[in-house]
Structure 1
Amino acid sequence: MTQINNSDTKSESNNYTDTYTTRYGRKYNAATNYLLPMDEGDRSSSSIRRVYRDHQTPIKEQLEKGISVLDSACGAGAHWTLTMKEQYPNCVYTGVDISNVFPAEKYSSVNFVMGNISKRIPAPDESFDFAFQKLLGLAFTREEWDSNLKELYRVLKHGGYVELSEIYAVSACNTGPLMDQVMNAFKTISKSKAIIVDKAPYELEHLLTKAGFTNPMVIIRNMPLNHGEHGKLYWKCMRAAYEILRPQFAQVYPEWNEVSFFEDFLNSAEEECSDTKCYYEWKICYAQK
């Protein structure tokens, strides 16, 4: 990795524009099968992004000196990018997202650009020293995962690192009968869109190796739901996702079409999670080019 000046940025011509469609009364990006809508700042995944603003790749010294960093699918508010800028102000940051959900405020050494990262990341070859990407398990098909990781490999400099961070969204642990229903609904609607949400997090290291990366390292954290440290916050984040997905879940459980019924169901599921000590696994995997 090489130290860079704050003016050392790279870009390429990008004619991508976002288009939207309305489903279930919500605004979705028409270019993706992403299960969550893009209106209201995608409040569920955005909330989780606020919780996780860290990185695990062992490059603190390089970050302190200043390198070029990509936040791939930075999401509404670009919370990870802005937190990293505060911690490592000598770096130059680029945030890419498929939708125009970037902060309105302008920041020095931070550039935001729209692009479909499953097809082409809008940057020349070997532009970045470090690429970070998270919470796309609800978005990609098998083919899109392969294409995306090849793109991350292309835009990274030789010796650069990539870090992926994903939740096992449809495979919570220690579930009771109510959360089993939520997991079943999750799996059913994801499979209907060819999204491999139930497999991709398990295979991050293999997907990275397939794309050409070396020495993948894996870290697994538990994400408790309504118990333990941060459990209430994690449940609040996931409940927001379940509420947004309710119209799609109702294709599996029609009684969930009734909002009040579903709210009562989630209230009971919340208590169940506390009783069974239900949790998600959060998998972090980093590797080198």
Structure 2
Amino acid sequence: MTDVLRVSMVQTTSHNTHAVNVDELRAAAAFAAEDGATMLAMPEAAGLMDRNKDHARAQITTEDQDPYIAACREEAAARGLWIHSGSCPIKSPDGRYLNHTVLVDPSGEIVARYDKIHLFDVFLEGRPATGESSRYAPGETAVLADTPFGPLGMTICYDLRFPHLYRDYALAGANVLFAPSAFTVPTGRAHWEVLLRARAIETGSYVVAAAQVGNHADGRVTWGHSLIVSPWGEVMADLGGEAPGQITLDLPLNAVESARRQIPNLKNARDYDFLRVPEGANAPTTQQKTPTGAFS
């Protein structure tokens, strides 16, 4: 396994047309190659950010026809890069879309695909309800990609709030976890950094979180602050919340084993029963415990 992953992380203000976003992808790939990067990491919705239903419907297509994914493959092969596409919407068999990411190797081949499992259906105070599931179908499968840098875990944005997914990746051997995102400003300000650092600390993994930033053509505003977090929970890079940008860093992969050796919480976890004590009841004895996950 390679000892170091040199990753170039991108922060963008993605457009509501593929063409503009493809140009940005090509520029980012050129920068990454010139900077000696091994892998390019793009944000969620890097291929297309368009909340106008009619306008989006006219553009969104299948993976094999998507111009952004095609550009990722072309740039990977032309520049000898691994490319994590971030994500783009593609058609789902049920008539909705999939929030879809691909991992492309330096020959231009897609070696892994992941569809966002957890959809952003939330009710923020003072804002309209967000129902991602009205337009998007959820993914069903966590995807761990074996690479020369070790196993890489694939997630997208709202997945970040489900720690068991990241723990499962770490238990399966993942040393780098990708979390491309397009966080809102209120949730970004309150939760973004602490969630990313928590996922890194809990799993002893690198977390690479390329993000969208600023005012988008479709009217959305995103938080930015693309982060790379070390297995010890230290913020290694923060691209800020004002403008697009790109940074290239070396990730020494032995830091994963070091963090997990020092705090072996993945090994120390134990199975346990779950007991609920009804209000006003005397504390029951341990013999009254119920099986793990059950409520009484």
So what's the TM-score if we normalise by structure 1? 0.33
Larger-Rg structure:
2
Which is richer in helix? 1
